[in-house]
Structure formats: C-alpha cells, structure tokens
Structure 1
Amino acid sequence: MTAPLTELDDDTVRSMSIAAVFSDFGGKINSLDFHRKDDLLVTASEDDSVRLYDIANAKLLKTTYHKKHGADRICFTHHPNSFICSSKYNLESTGESLRYLSMYDNRCLRYFKGHTQRVVSLCMSPINDSFMSGSLDHSVRIWDLRVNACQGILRLRGRPAVAYDQQGLVFAVAMEGGAIKLFDSRSYDKGPFDTFLVGGDTAEVCDIKFSNDGKSMLLTTTNNNIYVLDAYAGEKRCGFSLEPSPGTTIEATFTPDGKYALAGSGGGTMHAWNIENRNEVACWSSHIGVPSCLKWAPRRAMFAAASSVLTFWIPNNNGNGSNPRTEYSGADVEPGPQSQPFVLEN
C-alpha cells in the first residue's frame, strides 16, 4: 500500500490523502508508535487493547487486551514484537506503572514499578536497552529493559515530556515554565549541559521530538502551540498556533528528512508546514475529529493519524498534488485475516 520514502517536496506533502481506515476501536487511541526498521505500527487504546499493524499492506496483524492494567502510552523496543506500555489502572495498589510486553507469546516479560501517577511521556533509546518515562508524579525515570529497578530519577516541577535524539547520545526533558533541559545520556547524573526556554510561552510542553539529523526539536504545548527549535542553540526557528482542543492534547511530527512538520488541531484539521520557508503547505480535514496521535513513518511516504479511529495517509498519485482529493467515504479497509484477540491479565 505504501511506497518507500523518496525525497519530499511541497506537492508530495500536499497530496497526502487517506488510504486506510480502522474504526473498530472501543474508545480513544491513547498513543501509537512506528518501529524504526520494520514496517510495523502499534497502538494503545482506551478499550484496553494493544494492536499491531503491517503498514506496508494496511493489515491488522494481532490484538491483545490488557484489562487489569489498561493501555496508555506505548513504544516499540528494538524487537518488532515487543513494547513498553504504561498502565492506566491500579497504579496506587500495584505500583506497576510500566510493562514490557511480548506480542509474540502474549506475555508480560517484566514490570517496572516506581511511578505513582499516570505516565504521560515514554520513549526508547535508539541505541541500547534504556528507556525513559515521564509521569504526572513530577518525575522522569530512566530504566533498562533487562532489570526491574529504576536506573535514575529526575524530580521536577510540572508535567514532564521526554525524548532521545536519534543518535541516543542526548535526551531532552521539558518541565514547568516551558524550560527544556538537555542531558548527556551517558552521564545524566551530572545534570543538564544546556537549558532552553521556549520564547516566552510558559504553557507546559506535552511532546518533544528530535529530527533525524539531530539539528531540530519539535515541541507541542498543552495550549496547542507548535515550535521548531534549533537543537544546538535553542533558538526558535518557527512557531504555529492551532485551534484549542480542551481536554485533549495534540501531537506533532517531523517528516524523516526534517523539512516538514505536521500537527493536528482542535478544529479537526491537520496542517503541514515547510520549516525552512516557515509557510503552511497543506491543511486537511482529518475526517476523524481531533487527531490526538500523529506520527510519520520512519521509512515510508506515510503518516498515521488517530482519534478513536486510525487512519493511514499516503501521497495521492492520481493527480499532480495541486488539488489533493481525499477518497475516504467512511468505509473501513478490510484488515485481512487475523487470529482471535488474546486477553493478557497479568
């Protein structure tokens, strides 16, 4: 279904349109993630499901349910069938805020205890078995997949957001007042080596992403402002304000070449900007309400957007890109054969 990634230009980005729709979720999709090297996407939803998709063929491969803990934030490990998933339920009684899940044999491989409130930010190191979580308990915790114990704790004020750069050498932590602190991932115990302030905007940052070349950071705030910062100097390269979405945070994403940024909006639209020119190149109706999850695939000319419906978007090759047409009529794409869903209770 999806083409390998080629060089993107304004016309290609402008031509993006819906190619596949999955609407069988029993609630809002809380998060989604692409595997770095395989054509796979995973979702975590309010219906307690974790779902694995083949993005090259637009097929749902497998579904598991997690009724005891729920499924909130999710990210791939390096293995294509295993994930880190944060819990929604029983945090106070069990302390099991994070789980290392295997989709291959439907097991929880490890529990990670420590956070006392919901995890709102989660990311995996691109180079080793480390991962980070940021929680509403005002802490960021650093973990290793191979051991239960937390490897490091950063205590801070406000809602934290965390991200590794694509080389795994630096990680960023956003905290109260719009401050972004950068740490050397090999010696984070020495404290941050740099601190940026987001140009007078004191709204809390709810999402951070680094561009693939490590030169830029993309920030999304709780009041739906989007900023692109120089990752070395912290200077604001451009910023965009979107319609508010009360009670729902939105997500922004870089294209793999770092030339474009995309974001959802409270009005149910999605926008794309050329970062170098600082101009909007596309505005689409999402067709799914407020798209709270949005990510571009690492190796494909494709992005995924989700609310309580998951959509795959690819370039529309039927035209020249100057007048994009969205061919979605409301019908689901047939997801293909799949096994019965599993229920994982532990």
Structure 2
Amino acid sequence: MAANPPHRQPELTKLSETIARYRPSKAFSNFAQGAEVTSLDFDDTGEFCIATGDDETLQLYDCKLGKHSKTLYSKKYGCHLARFTHLQSNVIYASTKENDTIRYLSLHDNSYIRYFKGHKRPVTSLEVSPVDDQFISCSHDDTVRVWDLRSHNCAGLLNITAPSLAAFDPSGIIFAVAAQSTGAILLYDLRNYDKEPFTTFNLVDNSFLSQYSYPPRMPSWSKLEFSNDGKHMLVGTRGHAHYVVDSFAGDTAQFVYRAKRPNGPTSPKKLETSGDVCFTPDARYLVGGQGERGVVVWDSWMQADEKQTLKPFIELAENTKSMASVVSFNPKMNLFATAHKDVVCYHL
C-alpha cells in the first residue's frame, strides 16, 4: 500500500491519538454462567445493540443510556447471527436447533413476524442489505439464498461449494460470497445474481501463506466485510493474520498481523462467532481481538513492511480479563463492543 502524502501527516497524528483513547467503560453479564456470545450487531441509528449467546438468548442493549434493555428467549429454536433490519424494533436470526429456519422477530412484543424456510443445514452467515429489505444467507448446505423481508419465499438461490460468508457493499448493489474451501471471493451484481460472478478473487497465494504456517495453508475464515467507502474488503480469520483486499483490483493489499491468535470454540458443540475484527466507520482503522490480550487497532494508512504485513499500532486495555471473540463497531456513535462471555463497551 502506498505511503501517505506528507501533507496528511498532521491529520493522521490527531486521528491516531483519538482512536488510542478508547477504553472499556461498561461490561454486561446477562448470559447464563459459562455461556459464550456468538454474535453482535448495531441498528442503523446506533442506539441499540443485539447479542446472541449459546444459552439460546438474545440480549438487547441501549447504547444511549448505557444499559441492558431486555432478554429474549429462543430456547426451542436456539439463536445465532441476529441482525437488525432497518427498523430498530425488528431482527432476523438463524435457528440452531430443530431446523435451519431464519426467523424474523419483533423485539417489541417478542413475536415472530415471518419465517424463512429453505436451508437444510446450519446457516453460517446472515447479512441485511444496507439500502432495502433484501438479505442474504449462507449455509453448510452449499447454498446462498437471497430473500426479501416482505415474503417468506426465497427470491434467489446460488449453489456454491462451502459458501461460508457473505457481505453487501455499501451501495447494496454488489454482494460478495467467500468460499472458504477454494480460498476465493466471488462478486455478484444483485440485479443479475443468477448469472456467473462478474469477478473472482483468489486469496490462495503460498508465497504469503508460508509466512504464517508450514506447510502453507489458509486459516479458517470468520468474517467478510466491506469498508464503508467500498474500496476494501476485510477477510477475518482464526489464524495469525487477517486479509485486507482491494475491492476493485483484488490484490491482497495487506496482511493484518496479530501476535496472539484467538481461541476457537471451546468445544465442538460451540458455534463459531460472527468474527473478532471489523473496520471502523471511517474505513481507516481495523479493530480486533488479540486472544486474552484484549483489543488491538491497525491503521490501514500506515506503511506495510516488505512482506505487505501490517502490525497493530496500539493495544487497548491489554490487561483486560475479557477476551474479545466478537467485535463490532457502532455505525453512528463513538463506541464499539466486544464480547466473549460478557459484552464490553469501549468509549472515548
């Protein structure tokens, strides 16, 4: 990645000092003892945060008031990957028991609005369009499905081997599907998703992978996300490095390196989380977990080394006892949340 122009350096220093001031301000322990948080999401306004746990509960938090709002139970069906729709009172989430139905839930009265049936195996990714009522789901049944919140019928179906993750670009026109088994990212036009992907990026490059493991192998992928300016994609992994990919050229611009890889699920029955790394809303920084060492921040504007590797420039609350196995940044307010067994909010 090219060096930054000299005239931008004063601005860089000021912004870097700002991100370095984040500290954990409040921790919430609302899940059952021993339970682990599997996903976090903020609504469009940033006022609310929803968390799912493997104790089969959804926990709602009020970010403005800094308090826990309510507990919602899904004991019969389980819950994972809760995502706000464009109404802060409604979420969709994946079932983990009984069947693999996606459920559309009203948080106001804890009643189901609609069911989305079709997947035959567990859902691995669930993403709502940033601009309308469409959403995408991936599943272990080797399908990607396109849905509309207004209809229980599947609007579109793609057969892709091991489509583990999906993400919309900020315009809502393009969506990406990460196929872990092939090490590829497939880009589709939502208006013509029934056709072949218009671009395929292959991340399997042994010259890079050999830096982190021998024999070279791709670590398990846990997160796929576009930056808010649409210029880059983030592929989060369970290994020692994440990947920052140019959305237009497909080149792996940088490897975001962390010294301490996170623990995976503590048992085979535990769910993989929705990812422990994310972009900040300004598309410049990446915030991620560092195992038991707390949270670290990478500055994508910094110069990578000769191996295209970028190391964290700051550790936030490195002595915290709360591991960050899930990380999500608030889209409107100056805070982000991490979770493992508790949900921890970081403020300036």
- Give the equivalent residue in structure 2 for 1:330: none
Q: Name the CA distance, whole Å, in 2 between partners of 1:224 and 1:297.
A: 25
Q: 1:56 to 1:18 in 2, by over 3 A?
A: same
What secondary structure sits across from 1:189 in the alignment?
coil
Q: 1:314 to 1:60 in 2, by over 3 A?
A: same
- Give the equivalent residue in structure 1 for 2:305: none
- Give the equivalent residue in structure 1 for 2:162: 158
Q: 1:148 to 1:288 in 2, by over 3 A?
A: farther
- Give the equivalent residue in structure 2 for 1:77: 85
Matched residue type, 1:300:
M
Q: 1:63 to 1:300 in 2, by over 3 A?
A: same
CA contact (8 A) 2:46 2:63 kept: no
CA contact (8 A) 2:292 2:321 kept: no
Matched residue type, 2:17:
D
Asked whether 1:103 is paired with 2:103, we answer no
Deviation at 1:289, TM superposition (A): 4.2
Q: Which moved more, 1:196-205 or 1:118-127?
A: 196-205
- Give the equivalent residue in structure 2 for 1:245: 262
- Give the equivalent residue in structure 2 for 1:187: 192
- Give the equivalent residue in structure 2 for 1:86: 94
Q: Name the CA distance, whole Å, in 2 between partners of 1:302 and 1:132.
A: 27
Matched residue type, 1:179:
A
Q: Which has the higher contact order (CA 8 A, sep 6+)?
A: 1
Asked whether 1:54 is paired with 2:62, we answer yes
Q: Name the CA distance, whole Å, in 2 between partners of 1:140 and 1:286.
A: 40
Asked whether 1:264 is paired with 2:310, we answer no
Matched residue type, 2:189:
D
Equivalent residue in structure 2 for 1:290, among 306, 320, 323: 323
What secondary structure sits across from 2:17 in the alignment?
helix
- Give the equivalent residue in structure 2 for 1:306: 339
Q: 1:38 to 1:314 in 2, by over 3 A?
A: closer
Equivalent residue in structure 2 for 1:218, among 231, 234, 246: 234
Residues 251-305 of structure 1 show CA distances to partners (whole Å, capped at 9, x for unaligned) of 2111111110111133443211100104522113373443221011101111100
- Give the equivalent residue in structure 1 for 2:19: 13
Counting only pairs closer than 5 Å after superposition, residues 104-123 of structure 1 correspond to structure 2 as 104-123=108-127
Counting only pairs closer than 5 Å after superposition, residues 190-209 of structure 1 correspond to structure 2 as 190-200=195-205, 201=209, 202-209=218-225
CA contact (8 A) 2:184 2:204 kept: no
Q: 1:72 to 1:224 in 2, by over 3 A?
A: farther
- Give the equivalent residue in structure 2 for 1:169: 173
Deviation at 1:25, TM superposition (A): 1.0
Q: 1:216 to 1:79 in 2, by over 3 A?
A: same
Q: Name the CA distance, whole Å, in 1 between partners of 2:313 and 2:146.
A: 38
**Root-mean-square deviation (Å):** 1.8
CA contact (8 A) 1:211 1:217 kept: yes
> TM-score, with normalisation over the residues of structure 1?
0.83
Asked whether 1:32 is paired with 2:40, we answer yes
What secondary structure sits across from 1:10 in the alignment?
helix
Q: Name the CA distance, whole Å, in 1 between partners of 2:331 and 2:291.
A: 26
Residues 289-335 of structure 1 show CA distances to partners (whole Å, capped at 9, x for unaligned) of 432210111011111000010000012xxxxxxxxxxxxxxxxxxxx
CA contact (8 A) 2:82 2:93 kept: yes
Q: Name the CA distance, whole Å, in 1 between partners of 2:319 and 2:104.
A: 32
CA contact (8 A) 2:46 2:330 kept: no
What secondary structure sits across from 2:344 in the alignment?
strand
Q: Name the CA distance, whole Å, in 2 between partners of 1:269 and 1:32.
A: 17
> TM-score, with normalisation over the residues of structure 2?
0.83
Q: Which moved more, 1:300-309 or 1:38-47?
A: 38-47
CA contact (8 A) 1:210 1:216 kept: yes
Q: What percentage of residue pairs aligned between the two structures are identical?
A: 34
- Give the equivalent residue in structure 1 for 2:306: none
CA contact (8 A) 1:69 1:88 kept: yes
Equivalent residue in structure 2 for 1:255, among 253, 259, 280: 280
4+ residue stretches of structure 1 with deviation over 6 A?
A: none
- Give the equivalent residue in structure 2 for 1:23: 29
Q: Name the CA distance, whole Å, in 2 between partners of 1:89 and 1:53.
A: 25
Q: Name the CA distance, whole Å, in 2 between partners of 1:76 and 1:24.
A: 20
Asked whether 1:274 is paired with 2:299, we answer yes
Q: Name the CA distance, whole Å, in 1 between partners of 2:321 and 2:201.
A: 35
Q: Unaligned stretches of 5+ in structure 2?
A: 1-11, 210-217, 266-271, 303-309
Q: 1:237 to 1:153 in 2, by over 3 A?
A: same
CA contact (8 A) 2:59 2:71 kept: yes
CA contact (8 A) 1:14 1:281 kept: no
What secondary structure sits across from 1:186 in the alignment?
helix
